[in-house]
Every structure is written in structure tokens, then in C-alpha cells.
Chain A
């Protein structure tokens, strides 16, 4: 299975600032995703990070708030812009393993906005 790492693992940020989260996979994958997990909740898909084109956002999430980069098949970034306390969550990177119907998650980035 793919090994996924995320940076930072956690951060405490001031409102109004932005944080960029990095996701690195140890193998090339076609599909990479970003999820949000609010405290005590399940996983909500933010967007699919597409290599070479703009990310595909789910309803309720917009590019201005959550810009995403996908420069190659092993790396992606998610930026949480103009943060407010409501953005305090765990942000998870995920990949679909090519040709197999499985999805793996990174360890997550725990964000607290004050």
C-alpha cells in the first residue's frame, strides 16, 4: 500500500492567516484527495487534486478558500486561507491506489485556529 506523509502534523494559527499543508506519497498515484474531519465528525471530501489541471471541489468548498496544487503524481498541497476558528479541524490527504479499489489516508494535519 502507498505510504503517505503530511506536513505539518499539527499547527496553531491566528485568525486571518493562511496555512499550507503538504502531502507526499512514496509512489506515483493518479488520484489524490483532500478531506476535512471536524471534531467528533466523519470525513468530508474537500476536493480532488488533479495533476496538471485545476482541482475539482465538492459542494460547499471553493478554490479561494482552499487552493490546491498538484505539480506531479506524488505531491500535493492544500492551503487553508484567511483562517477562522471554524477551520479548526483535521485535514487529511488520501490516495486511490491505481488499479485497485482501495483508498489510503495520510496521518492528518491537526489545525487549531485561535
Chain B
């Protein structure tokens, strides 16, 4: 079945640093979603991507839909303590199919 890989698995950064993480698939997807989950909460949708090469921002967050359609990237600029959480990617080939979720990247921000 379809699987997503996320890299890195976890990361520890200093407050103010920029963060990059990615999500890769062996299959082509036509929709990519990025979520953040904080402890005790459900995943919150950050950014949705629908077109190969698309670059979309949400505040300090920027995500890109890879040209190959097999990957997506999430960048966070000037990290702050409230960026702490687990970031999940999700992909779907066609509307009506179920989303596939990655294992997540756990982000820790050191003051």
C-alpha cells in the first residue's frame, strides 16, 4: 500500500532558527496536507497544496508541492517555543480516496 516517509524523525533547534522537514512517497499524490499536533490536541491543518510546484505560505510557515508529485516540504522561519509539536504530512492521489499520513516529525525548540 501507499506509504509516506517523513524526515527528520525528530529535531531539536534553538529558538530563532529556521526549520526544514520533508515528506516523501513512492506514489504520486495530487493533494498534500500539512498538520501540526500539540500535546493533548487533535491535528490542526496548517497548509494544503493542490498543484505540482505550488508554494504556499501561512505566516512563518511555507510548504511546497514537489515537482515530481512524490514529495512535499515544510519550512518554518524564525522558530518560537510555541512551534513545538508533531508535524504530520498527508497525501491523496484522487478526491474520494483516503488520505495517507506520514509518521510525523517531532519538533522541539530550545529557548
Contact = CB atoms under 8 A, between A and B. Distances in A.
What size tier do the contact residues of chain A reach?
10 to 19
Contacts of A92: 42-43
Contact of B45 (A45, A58, A103, A107): A103
B104 A102 contact: no
Interface of A: 1, 4, 33, 41-43, 45, 48, 58, 92, 101-108, 110
A101 B44 contact: no
A45 B101 CA distance: 9
For the complex of A and B, list the 7 residue pairs with the smallest distance between their C-beta atoms, beginning with the closest.
A105-B42, A108-B42, A43-B101, A101-B31, A107-B42, A105-B43, A42-B103
Given A104-B45, A107-B41, 16 more contacts: A1-B45, A4-B42, A33-B98, A42-B88, A42-B103, A43-B43, A48-B98, A92-B42, A92-B43, A103-B45, A103-B90, A103-B99, A105-B42, A105-B45, A108-B41, A110-B40
A104 B103 CA distance: 18
What size tier do the contact residues of chain B reach?
20 to 34
B74 interface: no
27 contacts: A41-B103, A42-B88, A42-B101, A42-B103, A42-B104, A43-B43, A43-B88, A43-B101, A45-B98, A48-B98, A58-B98, A92-B42, A92-B43, A101-B92, A101-B95, A102-B33, A102-B45, A103-B90, A103-B99, A104-B45, A105-B42, A105-B43, A105-B44, A105-B45, A107-B41, A108-B41, A108-B42
Nearest to A9: B40
Nearest to A100: B48
